[in-house]
Amino acid sequence: MSDFTDALRTAGLLIVHLDPEVRGIVLLSLTVSLTGSFCAFLIGSPIGTALAIYRFPGRGALIVAANALLGLPPVVVGLAIYLLLSRSGPLGSLGILFTPAAMIIAQAVLGTPIVVALVHRMMVDAWATYGDALLVDGASRLRALPSIMSIGRDGLFTAFLAAFGRAIAEVGAIIIVGGNIRDYTRTMTTAIALETSKGELSFALALGIILIVLSMIVSGLSLVVARTLTGRW
């Protein structure tokens, strides 16, 4: 058990002393994961909603695809994005491999199917309840889209948090496309992987504890924001 008590003590010390390197790592983790999941949210939520309210050929296939991609292995996503962004790859001229931007793209890609699948599920229910009313008002489905998204905003928030949860906990993709460069692309999870490989197991676990605390704070804050925005407590 001494490993765990060591880790708890180290985590406490790191938080109390605001270790500058750890602070940088925490900030980068938050920035990358929040931006990545927000990108996923912006892309995924209209798609998920549209899948719920429109009927078009290929819709079923898209829904199946989104659900299947929930289990997308991060390491595969990382590898694919690596090959795309590599200087020898099609998007190499952007020069963004091994930068935080590449990590954001990876997390957006991983988060999008989660948002699509969750939003679709919830919007199907919302549409069943409110869809007729919205259309009776004379609106087209396109005009109804923002309204139904507004009605189902609780669900949208859940989807965003799910994407964020995946992003902040993810290591396989971002370690490939970010390169785990100190003070530049090193996040909580890649730092944990590194410290483990250095045999600094309690320190690695301490970072893990901070990561969990951080996730709790973010989801707590999101809940407050969501409740304030929707006026529903």
Partner 1 sequence: MKRWSIKMPTIAVLISAMALLCAPALAQEKSIVVASTTSTQDSGLFGYLLPLVKQKLGITVKVLAQGTGQALDTARRGDADVVFVHARSAEEKFLAEGFGVKRFPVMYNDFVLIGPKGDPAGIKGKDVLTALQTIKAKSAAFVSRGDRSGTHIAELALWKKAGIDVGHDKGPWYKEIGQGMGAALNMASASNAYVLADRGTWLAFKNRGELTILVEGDKRLFNQYGVMLVNPAKHPHVKKDLGQQFIDWLVSPEGQRAIAGYKINGQQLFYPNADDPNA
The count of other CB atoms within 10 Å of the CB of residue 123 is 26
Q: How many residues bind partner 1 (CB under 8 A)?
A: 43
Stretch that binds partner 1, among 59-67, 113-121, 122-130, 225-233 (CB under 8 A): 225-233
Smallest distance, partner 1 to C-beta of residue 67, A: 24
Residue 67, C-beta contacts closer than 8 angstroms, at least 6 positions apart: 113, 117
Q: Cα–Cα distance between 69 and 206 in angstroms, integer?
A: 32
Identify which of residues 92 and 165 has a Cβ nearer to partner 1 in the complex: 92
Q: Give me the DSSP letters along 132-191.
A: HHHHHTT--HHHHHHHHHHHTHHHHHHHHHHHHHHHHH--HHHHHHH---TTTT--HHHH
Identify which of residues 46 and 67 has a Cβ nearer to partner 1 in the complex: 46
Contact 48, 119 (CB under 8 A): yes
Among 92, 141, 209, 214, binds partner 1 (CB under 8 A): 92
Token reading at 73: 């292995």
Q: Using CB under 8 A as the criterion, what x/- string covers residues 142-161 for binding partner 1?
A: ----xx-xx--x--------
Half-sphere exposure of 2 (CA within 13 A, CB side): 0
Stretch that binds partner 1, among 11-19, 67-75, 80-88, 210-218 (CB under 8 A): 80-88
| Residue 87 interacts with partner 1 (CB under 8 A): yes or no | yes
Identify which of residues 97 and 110 has a Cβ nearer to partner 1 in the complex: 97
Using CB under 8 A, list all residues that contact partner 1.
35, 38-39, 42, 46, 86-89, 92, 94-101, 104-105, 108, 146-147, 149-150, 153, 179-182, 184-185, 194, 196-201, 229-232
